[in-house]
Amino acid sequence: MDDISTGRADARHVPDGVPDHLRHHVGGEDVDSAEGATFDVLDPVSNETYLRAAAGKAADVDRAVAAARRAFEDGPWPRMLPRERSRVLHRVADVVESRDARLAELESFDSGLPISQALGQARRAAENFRFFADLVVAQTDDAFKVPGRQLNYVNRKPIGVAGLITPWNTPFMLESWKLGPALATGNTVVLKPAEFTPLSASLWAGIFAEAGLPTGVFNLVHGLGEEAGDALVKHPDVPLISFTGESRTGQLIFANAAPHLKGLSMELGGKSPAVVFADADLDAAIDATIFGVFSLNGERCTAGSRILVQREVYDEFVERYAAQARRVVVGPPHLPSTEVGALVHPEHFAKVMGYIEIGRTEGRLVAGGGRPDGFPTGNYVAPTVFADVTPDARIFQEEIFGPVVAITPFDTDEEALALANGVKYGLAAYVWTNDLRRAHTFAQGIEAGMVWLNSNNVRDLRTPFGGVKASGLGHEGGYRSIDFYTHQQAVHVTLGEPHHPTFGKGDRP
């Protein structure tokens, strides 16, 4: 196996003040589960239980939804002016920014993310709140006039209790991505964080209290997806569900929400292509595609995990890519030098390792291939690269969600487009070429919700985020988030005499 620069394999950093028990947060109070149930939470470096969290079930979700509904119907939050809510959200951002190092330390410990990347995610969480705090104040709604006859305008209103179900990869940032717009628009919320990584979610209650969010607006229920998450999706008093997670879970949520006709926003799985044409800047393309699949431990929905390379530069690309992948630093998550840490959970580690074994029969292994040298324990996977992967291979078709990439050659633009679109997913895509006409034409043909041209996943928060096919339903980001979390009521005002036909003018009997 390739030699990989590492820190001490047995290094395990436990932050000061890590709790040994987490409770739900309902109506402004921390509470245990009604049945007293708990579940174990493991740290990814030792796979030892470091805390027990309250395991929410239907009764706990009922309590949280009731508290959120009271805060919506009777509390001040939905009736506050946008500027007043904006001030609270800016204070939330201030608190998050002031504690970014602590948040990153806890997130890294809980999820296995490298500390430097966890710090970036904490800062982005603050920026998410600032963005929506500003956007809700700047929000304008349509008005249409028919001179002398009618005025029509849109009255935007919060919907009610929003159910937010978040994943275990970059959990704190992705929680902020949903909490920011849901709260900015005047809704109240029940958050159900991923059971693998509940630690950072438990900090929100204190942050919101310090920022002045009214009691009951934010509620948190820990628990398993099939119990707490399922109860939240099926609850009749939760009209909105925003979910980020795998596609199979999204299908279940879609089916369970259907009887209640809930509003759904679901960002699901991905198997995103990175298409490298022969005229591309190979230095930039290699750097970007290395980062795009190995950052965040490869546990990212927008990872460019299929790299399609034009045959003229294919051999050079594979050789250089593999050499650079072998230099990626695997190490304990808390070390600043670490570029790939430990995968989140032993169950996920086993899944990724299983795909690597499948890949040995489906492609040519040119880097990595399993557990890195010097790491006999913990959920460590060496950055792994398979070349010459055919489009019918499982590692080409299926989402692995780890530091594993498949490289496939192509000859023509038409073949590249067919390969790019030849999976069930359609979240993101990346195109590398110096031909401007080709870049824009190719982007139009790709079945993906987001396309980056000569760039790696650098997002303007005003743009829509979401996928097509098995990668999602609906879009969030910018005004799309505002639209999702609000009713848009059309009000029609007649000017002058009413204009309508009169029925019933016939002769009376």
Q: Encode pLDDT of 25-78 as tens digits.
A: 999 999 999 999 999 999 999 999 999 999 999 999 999 999 999 999 999 999
Could you tell me which residues are beta bridge partners of residue 365? 386
Among 175, 299, 301, 399, the one annotated catalytic: 301
Burial tier of 237 (Cβ tally within 10 Å: 0-12, 13-18, 19+): middle
- Provide the pLDDT for residue 231: 98
Q: Which residue has the tokens 């590492």?
A: 6
CA nearest to 228, candidates 139, 140, 165, 276: 165
Pull the structure tokens for residue 339: 């570029």
Beta strand pairing status for 240-244 and 263-267?
A: parallel
- Provide the pLDDT for residue 4: 38
Q: Give the residues of the chain that fall short of pLDDT 70.
A: 1-10, 508-509
Residue type, 338: T
H or E element at residue 372: none
- Provide the pLDDT for residue 463: 93
Cβ atoms within 10 A of the Cβ of 264, count? 19
105 catalytic residue (yes or no): no
- Sequence-separated (6 or more) residues with CB below 8 Å from residue 16: none
CA nearest to 257, candidates 398, 141, 162, 379: 162
Among 107, 175, 227, 267, the one annotated catalytic: 267
301 catalytic residue (yes or no): yes
Rounded Cα–Cα distance for residues 117 and 148 (Å):
59
Q: HSE, CB side, 13 Å, CA atoms: give it for residue 1.
A: 14
- Provide the pLDDT for residue 8: 55
pTM for the structure as a whole? 0.95
Rounded Cα–Cα distance for residues 52 and 447 (Å):
42
Backbone φ and ψ of 260, nearest 5°: -100, 0
